[in-house]
Amino acid sequence: MAQLDTLDLIVLVILLAGTAAYFTKGTYWGIPKDPYAGAYSLANGTKAGKTRNILEKMDESEKNCVVFYGSQTGTAEDYASRLAKEGSQRFGLKTMVADLEDYDYDNLDTFPEDKLAMFVLATYGEGEPTDNAVDFYEFVTSQDVSFSSGATGDEKPLEKLKFIAFGLGNNTYEHYNSMVRRVNDALIKLGATRIGKAGEGDDGAGTMEEDFLAWKEPMWAELTEKMGLEEREAVYEPVFSITEREDLDEHADEVYLGEPNKNHLEGNQKGPYNSHNPYIAPIAESREIFTVKDRNCLHMEIDVKGSNLTYTTGDHIAVWPTNAGREVDRFINILGLGEKRHKVISVKGLDPTAKVPFPTPTTYDAAIRYHMEICGAVSRQFISSLAPFAPDDKSKAEMTRLGNDKDYFSEKVSSQYLNIAQVLERVNSSTPWTSIPFSIMIEGIHKIQPRYYSISSSSLVQKDKISITAVVEEIRIPGSENIVKGVTTNYLLALKQKQHGDPNPDPHGLTYAITGPRNKYDGIHVPVHVRHSNFKLPSDPSKPIIMVGPGSGVAPFRGFIQERAAQAQAGENVGQTILFYGCRRASEDYLYKEEWEHYKQILGNKFTLITAFSREGPMKVYVQHRLQENAALVNELLEKEKANFYVCGDAANMARAVSDTLGKIISEHRGVSAEKGEEIVKGMRSSNQYQEDVWS
The answer to whether the CB of 240 falls within 8 A of the CB of 442 is yes
The answer to whether the CB of 124 falls within 8 A of the CB of 278 is no
Is 452 marked as binding a ligand? yes
DSSP for 520-553, please give it. SSTTTEEEEEEE--S----SSTTS-EEEE--GGG
For residue 555, which amino acid is it?
A
Is 308 marked as binding a ligand? no
Is 433 marked as binding a ligand? no
Compute the distance between CA of residue 640 and CA of residue 622 in angstroms, rounded to an integer. 26
Is 182 marked as binding a ligand? no
> Can you tell me whether residue 436 is helix, strand or coil?
coil
Is 176 marked as binding a ligand? yes
Residue 643: φ, ψ to 5°: -60, 150
Is 177 marked as binding a ligand? yes
**What is the DSSP code (8-state) at residue 130?**
P
Q: How far is CA 278 from CA 304, 307, 321, 449, 470, in A?
A: 11, 11, 11, 12, 20
Is 27 marked as binding a ligand? no
Selecting among 286, 454, 467, 659, the annotated active-site residue is 454
**Which residues 6+ apart lie within 8 Å of 276 measured at CB?**
39, 40, 45, 260, 261
Is 621 marked as binding a ligand? yes
Query: Phi-psi bin for 592: left (phi > 0), alpha (psi -120 to 50), beta?
Result: left
Selecting among 102, 414, 648, 659, the annotated active-site residue is 648
Q: What count of other Cβ atoms lies within 10 Å of the Cβ of residue 556?
A: 29
- Which residue stretches of 192-235 are H helix? 208-227
Selecting among 61, 384, 464, 695, the annotated active-site residue is 695
The answer to whether the CB of 116 falls within 8 A of the CB of 65 is yes
Element (H, E) at 122: strand 116-124
Compute the distance between CA of residue 167 and CA of residue 194 in angstroms, rounded to an integer. 14
| 695 catalytic per annotation | yes
Is 685 marked as binding a ligand? no
Is 620 marked as binding a ligand? yes
Is 400 marked as binding a ligand? no
Is 491 marked as binding a ligand? no
Is 141 marked as binding a ligand? no
> Can you tell me whether residue 654 is helix, strand or coil?
helix
Is 338 marked as binding a ligand? no
Length of the chain: 696
Selecting among 78, 102, 650, 693, the annotated active-site residue is 693
Is 125 marked as binding a ligand? yes
Is 85 marked as binding a ligand? no
Element (H, E) at 494: helix 487-499
| 454 catalytic per annotation | yes
Compute the distance between CA of residue 251 and CA of residue 256 in angstroms, rounded to an integer. 9
Closest CA to 100 of 140, 141, 57, 133: 133
Closest CA to 178 of 163, 200, 162: 200
Is 92 marked as binding a ligand? no
Is 169 marked as binding a ligand? yes
Compute the distance between CA of residue 358 and CA of residue 376 in angstroms, rounded to an integer. 17
Is 469 marked as binding a ligand? yes
Is 565 marked as binding a ligand? no
Is 404 marked as binding a ligand? no
Is 487 marked as binding a ligand? yes
Is 614 marked as binding a ligand? yes
Compute the distance between CA of residue 40 and CA of residue 421 in angstroms, rounded to an integer. 33
Give binding residues for NADP(+) as ranges: 295, 614-615, 620-624
Give binding residues for FAD as ranges: 451-454, 469-471, 486-489, 695
Give catalytic residues, as residue numbers. 454, 648, 693, 695
Give binding residues for FMN as ranges: 71-76, 122-125, 168-177, 203
